[in-house]
A and B are shown apart, each in its own frame.
Chain A
Amino acid sequence: MTQYSPKSAQGDRPASPSFYKAARGIGSWLYTLDHKRIGIMYLVFVLAAFLLGGVFALLVRTELLTPGKTIVDANTYNRLFTLHGVVMVFLVIIPSIPASLGNLILPLQLGAKDVAFPRLNLASFYIYLIGACFALYSLVNGAVDTGWTFYTPYSNTTDTSVISMVLAAFILGFSSIFTGLNFIATTHSLRAPGMTFFRMPLFVWALYATSVIQILATPVLAITLLLLLAERVLKVGIFDPAMGGDAVLFQHFFWFYSHPAVYIMIVPGFGVVSELITTFSRKPIFGYRAIAMSSIGIAIIGFLVWGHHMFTAGQSEIAGMIFSFLTFLVAIPTAIKVLNWTATMYRGSIVLRTPMWYAIGFLYLFTVGGLTGMYLATAGTDVHLHDTYFVVAHFHFVMMGGTMFAFLGGLHYWWPKITGRMYNETLGSFACLVAFIGFNMTFLTQFVLGAQGMPRRYYNYLDQFQPLHAFSSVGSYVLGLGFLLSAVCLLGTLFKKSDAPDNPWEGTTLEWQTASPPPLENFHDQPAVNAGPYDR
């Protein structure tokens, strides 16, 4: 029935060793050019950074249980929320899906032996490690208290360890650019015979769109951070009015990267969810072309909306108008995706396994995150809500409820493919439920706090906000517990025998046509394609 299959049928494939067994020893990992091993190394570090950033988040929430001092002083609190932001953005979310799952799965989905530039891929990983070392150096050297946005002139005057942290972000940017370059080249040159662009899985489309943003936007961040260093170290006045600079100029530079970066963070999640929903609905995805094209649309319009972070920064009203309008435009392709995913489930045969629960959780959380974006895109209503907890809640719904739920969904989905092991389905689904409940307790509350006028990045707050803050903090513990459970669920499988079938979810894309885990060069025979990725 399905025509999207390799030439050799499932059963008569000669046994070749998995990529784990193809080479042994620590050197076989440190010098590996295998995209799967690099993906796994990325995965280990991303998850470790996620744990670190999560601990910072829990400390922040614990401090906010009461107004004034709960566990730490104001300067420590300011460092904690900064570190939470920097670690989560630069070390976790940006590399999460592309560098770990993308590296592992993209060549498999394309039917390729590896990425186009395996050495560049390994270089990207080591640059990531060097960047992480700079971040750690800053952390043990007193850390930074600027917020992850490094706004001038504060970042120029604080005596904290700004330079090493800015260098960390600068270096991590190159790792991101290398990955993006590699994925674009791989997508163009290494598709299996017969795989036209419109026969590529949507995860590939999403990574492709992400890569385009990565290589176009990240250099702007690099320039901005270099200028910041030039100002701090060489005392060249660029952003600090005390030296003749312009403080708002930094915000333009910064958001010119960091708004597209929001799409670097969420678009790969769209790709994962597209895979999950079609596979677990046992049905071809609804509106394949619309979903693929909307990723590209988001990538293009996403470059033109940065000024919506600055409605109250003193920019001209005309600029405010244009940015508000463009922000609404970028909402349309996003809405199209959500509607397509919902329509995919119509008349499907929905199998409710752990990855699908994450996908359903994503749909709910991302819909809330997207809809609440309307308050902020509307220039007038943004004035009251800007820089309050409303914004904090909105971006956590998108970044955490969106990207991290998609990431965990993808991790559970491809876990059998990556490790060759099945996890406990009950525990996996239960962990997802706990995280979902905890997430909503933590962040739904913050929409109310923000609308009431609670400003963000506040160590101390008025007594009237305390009940909601305390509730939100308790929610964060539940959320943490959920993630802990899923860690137990997944890591527990490493202690048992390999038991995963090649295609446990009846997926239709190429990665399910090879062994779990795959052999060194992915496929025994070169797969060929003569139908769409989700045709059954």
Chain B
Amino acid sequence: MMDQSTSTLTMLPTQASTIAPGYDLLFWVITYMCVFFFVLIIGAGTYFVFKYRYRGGEHRVDTNHTHNTTLEIAWSVVPLFLCIGLFAWGFKLYLDFAIPPKDAIEIRVTGQKWAWNFEYDNGAASAKEFAVPLNKPVKLIMTSRDVLHSFFVPSFRTKMDVVPGRYTTMWFQATQVGPQQVFCTEYCGTSHSDMLAKVLVLPEKEYEDWLEKHRDDPNATPADKGKKIFNGKGGCNACHAVAADQAIPVIGPKLWQLFGRAEKMADGAQLTVDENYIRESIEYPNKQTVAGFAAGAMPTFKGVLSDKEISDLIAYLKTLK
């Protein structure tokens, strides 16, 4: 659930960022304007239909009311001024979204089919959820590894496309402790609607603890590091299950009991999974795909993961029984 206080008929989600109240004010001002003009236009129309409807007999002949310069200028100019007012207010709000405060904490966000990854300056990394401190401005520097995505947090009222080959930014300052829903809002294929994440808004102290917990541990074994990459930088967990009881959408092959498993390939060939097949599947995922899984579903990680990181991943995959 996005938020318990959002019921079926509440128009806007909860306000959880500094920009949300200003956004909602403009939203409701436009709404009241719309209601006013709707009642005016449709009210007049409905009244005319009722009042002047043909009731049999001779038709009323009125050829006088075909033009009225004063009226026509009035109903062109008044909406024009209203529109210019709305435009200016809306642009001001747009700039508020666009310009982050100078002291904002920077988090790097990477989108890929179909997962979000988050990296912090201290080396902490995570996927599916990421922490931000309460009441501090946060700036996301975002890019995509494959196709277009879009990062949308309804309770913050903010959204920005995530584009391969360039960086886009967005910022927010959270005002409510608790998890907030993130959606991908640019269509990106099969599991577009499952490309979700959570923003964990934490008080300062808990935020620091969270960062510490998600840092690289120099004493970790390769398998530990591999697990971190699997669930963090690589975002492998978005599509691959590592245990029989795990409920995720079936997008990629299951990865427990992987080593030594005989797999049937899409082209009919049989092969036994070993280190080289795993490596190839990470770097050139479409070269040999397992039968029953769509080619093109997995992006390449060549140039994204280093040799060291790939061997750590393989070490981790070997531990999955």
A residues sitting closer than 8 Å to B (CB atoms) are 74-75, 78, 145-147, 151, 153-154, 157-159, 241-242, 245-248, 281-288, 290, 311-314, 317, 320-321, 324-325, 328-329, 331-332, 335-336, 338-340, 342-343, 345-352, 360, 363-364, 367-368, 371-372, 374-375, 377-384, 386-388, 448, 451-453, 455-464, 467-468, 535-536
Contact = CB atoms under 8 A, between A and B. Distances in A.
Judged by DSSP, the binding face of A is helix
B94 A457 contact: no
Interface of B: 1-2, 6, 8-13, 23, 26-27, 30, 33-34, 37-38, 41-42, 44-45, 48-49, 52-54, 59-63, 65-68, 71-72, 75-76, 79-80, 83-84, 86-87, 89-98, 146-148, 150, 152, 154-155, 157-161, 163-166, 168, 181, 183-194, 249, 294-296
Contacts of A282: 54, 59-61
Nearest to B22: A380
A282 B38 CA distance: 25
A287 B65 CA distance: 9
A336 B72 contact: yes
B49 A352 contact: yes
13 contacts: A74-B191, A75-B294, A282-B54, A314-B168, A324-B87, A328-B86, A332-B83, A338-B41, A351-B53, A378-B90, A452-B12, A453-B183, A461-B193
B36 to A, nearest CB: 10
B62 A457 contact: no
Contacts of B87: 324-325, 328, 377-378
Given A153-B146, A387-B185, A379 B94 contact: yes
A42 B177 CA distance: 59
A335 B183 CA distance: 35
A247 B63 contact: no
A387 to B, nearest CB: 4
Given A287-B67, A380-B97, A453 B49 contact: no
B66 A286 contact: yes
B154 A351 contact: no
Given A384-B23, A462-B181, A360 B10 contact: no
Contact of A374 (B34, B91, B161, B163): B34
Given A350-B49, A381-B30, A312 B193 contact: no
Contacts of B49: 345, 350, 352, 360
Contacts of B191: 74
A458 B94 contact: no
B6 A452 contact: yes
Nearest to A330: B83
Contacts of A287: 66-67, 72
A154 B187 contact: yes
A371 B34 contact: yes
B2 to A, nearest CB: 6
Contacts of A346: 48, 52, 65
Given A347-B62, A349-B59, A380-B26, A386 B159 contact: yes
A95 to B, nearest CB: 26
A247 B163 contact: yes
Contacts of A288: 66-67
B93 A379 contact: yes
Given A312-B161, A343-B68, 6 more contacts: A78-B190, A153-B148, A351-B53, A377-B87, A386-B185, A453-B13
A387 B48 contact: no
Contact of A451 (B11, B37, B168): B11
Nearest to A146: B187
A387 B152 contact: yes
Given A317-B98, A379-B91, A383-B158, A463 B1 contact: yes
Contact of B65 (A347, A382, A457, A536): A347
Given A74-B193, A313-B161, A371-B38, A380 B89 contact: yes
Contacts of B60: 282, 347-349
A421 to B, nearest CB: 23
B192 A458 contact: yes
Contact of B26 (A153, A378, A448): A378
Given A75-B190, A286-B66, A535-B63, A247 B53 contact: no
Contacts of A457: 187, 192-193
Q: Top 7 A-B pairs ranked by shortest CB distance?
A: A380-B93, A241-B165, A453-B154, A378-B90, A379-B94, A458-B193, A345-B48
Nearest to A281: B52
Contacts of B189: 78, 145, 154, 158
A19 to B, nearest CB: 32
A464 B160 contact: no
A276 B93 CA distance: 42
B52 A345 contact: yes
